Structure 1
Amino acid sequence: MIGADEVRQIQSAARFGSTRAQVLLGQICVDGNGVPQSRTEGRRWFQKAADAGSAEGINMVGRCHEFGWGGPVDLAAAAACYRMAAERGFAWAQFNLASLLHDGKGVPRDRREACFWFVRAARQGHAKAANMLGHYREEGWLHPRSPAKAWRWYGRAAKGGDFRGQFNLARFLFAAGQREPALIWLDRAVEGGIPDFWREIAPLLAGHPDPALRRYGERARTLASSGSAGASSQPPPNAR
């Protein structure tokens, strides 16, 4: 929970025109973190930042359209916002646009263009984009399957702090017989995850013949049931 003094400082900076503070205040309002929750108010602050030309603010208006914060869900409008911010070089917008293109949400499915934007984001150090590129090379969604290239992308995602990338790197290490480093990355993935991720991996690990992996499966199931947050599961304001 953010402190009252910090909230007042952010509010003051936002009123004086700091677009970064406006985005932060918008997220605080959306989350109800230190202030009464109001997604309408959050959206208003995101829009102020966007109107001032902030790519981060434009991206967050896209999030409002995508998730219905302060208004109806409009995936086409979300994609348009993400594209505008992505073209200005904002990595989170590049990732968000790529995700919609990959799934065909609000825009026609176009995995070639999705891959283009994932690469642009990953080159800026965006760990989640790197993880998606690992999937592209592992699954052969656009280019021929390449486990070696998938491994490298997952490694970049893992080192960048993405828990899904850490889990995928652990999978590759375990399959290659590198059990101890695999368990290190798996531990980081589980402890840094979120409930949806824990529910996803728990059944994959719980029935594994390796007892250490079974324990992580039980740990994931326990965390998912309790609704607790892992050590690093709180995303930055633009996180998906």
Structure 2
Amino acid sequence: MLDESPARAAQAILIAAREGETEAQALLGQILLDGLGIAQDQTLALRWFDIAARQGHLMARNMLGRCHEHGWGCIADATVAARHYRTAAEAGLDWAMYNYANLLATRRGVVEDLLQALSLYRRAAELGHAKSMNLLGRYLEEGRVCPADRAAARDWYRRSAEGGDFRGQFSYAAVLTDEGNIDDALGWLHKALAGGNLNFLRVASQALMGATDPRIQAMAGDYAKRCAEL
């Protein structure tokens, strides 16, 4: 519906949200945040997320956390963000588990707790959350607050890559490179660099410039050039 006519869809969502439909309230918050078919208004987005969250909508609760973490429509406050993430995580939302784990791992708004962060990444990964799969793989590869298990790390990287996470694709490519499987590594590197955000693209392309394989170096140079043009 949004693809056909964003403005018309936004109007329909607004009407449904005003009539009390919780899913529409959460969706209205998202399109207000993005400015999709409607004037962008982060403060109003925050209000609709709050309305939907009070009705038990878990993704709206998670998005409240995102708003408070990043200062969208409010003053940034990681402590408030953590409370919202924790509520949604405890109710079983994988995205909230991931977001709350990130705060626990980086000591933002909460006391650092790497063991709990690892547990949350694992729970989210087992629910199919691709970004959590990559971070679970990182903990297992490095033996961070858990026994190192490179085989398990490789498997989680692969699953993250196949799930579409560009960081997971990059991690899996690194494993394949170490194994000497450059052909497959190049394929995953291309996917990672093509799908990653600009900051990731800049950091990753620079890191790959030091690769020993000339094909990886050439790919890195190509993407570094693209970054410079953006």
| Structure 1 residue aligned with 2:199 | 196
CA distance in 2, matches of 1:72, 1:59: 17
Matched, 1:117 2:120: yes
The residue that corresponds to 1:137 in the other structure is 140
Structure 2 counterpart SS, 1:105: coil
Query: How far has the Cα of 1:220 moved from its partner?
Result: 2.8
Q: Which residue of 1 aligns with 2:7?
A: 4
Stretch moving more, 187-196 or 137-146: 137-146
* 1:215 pairs with one of 212, 218, 225: 218
Retained in 1: the 8 A contact 2:9–2:37?
no
Contact 1:201 1:220 in 2 (8 A): no
Shift of residue 60, structure 1, vs aligned partner: 0.8
CA distance in 2, matches of 1:108, 1:216: 41
TM-score by length of 2: 0.93
Q: Does 1:161 align with 2:164?
A: yes
- Tell me which of the two structures has the higher relative contact order, counting C-alpha pairs closer than 8 angstroms and 6 or more residues apart: 1
**Letter aligned with residue 132 of structure 2:** A
- Greater shift after overlay, 93-102 or 135-144? 135-144
Q: Which of 51, 56, 80 lines up with 1:53 in the alignment?
A: 56
Which residue in 1 is equivalent to 2:80?
77
Q: Which segment is superposed worse, 14-23 or 190-199?
A: 14-23
TM-score computed with the length of structure 1 as normaliser: 0.89
Across the aligned residues of Structure 1 and Structure 2, the Cα RMSD in angstroms comes to 1.5
Distance in 2 (alpha carbons) for counterparts of 1:32 and 1:210: 43
Q: Pick from 222, 225, 228: which aligns with 1:225? A: 228
1:139 offset after TM fit, Å? 1.5
Structure 2 CA distance, aligned partners of 1:172 and 1:181?
10
Task: Say if 2:82 and 2:109, in contact at 8 Å, map to a contact too.
Answer: yes
| Number of aligned positions between the proteins | 227
Deviation at 1:34, TM superposition (A): 2.3
> Would the aligned equivalents of 1:26 and 1:46 in 2 still touch at CA under 8 Å?
yes
Question: What does the per-residue CA deviation read over 1:71-109, in whole Å, with 9 as the maximum and x for residues that have no partner?
Answer: 111111110100000011011001100110111110011
CA deviations on 1:3-28 (whole Å, 9 max, x unpaired) are 21222222222222232222222121
Structure 2 partner of 1:24: 27
The verdict on how the C-alpha distance between 1:39 and 1:226 changes in structure 2, with shifts beyond 3 A counting, is farther
Compare 23-32 and 103-112 and name the one that shifted more: 23-32
**Where in structure 1 are there 5+ consecutive unaligned residues?**
228-240
Q: Which residue of structure 2 lines up, in the alignment, with residue 97 of structure 1?
A: 100
The one-letter amino acid paired with 2:58 is A
Task: Indicate whether 1:128 and 2:131 are aligned.
Answer: yes
- 1:146 alignment partner, one of 149, 152, 170: 149
Query: Percent identity, aligned pairs only?
Result: 44
Gaps of 5+ in 2: none
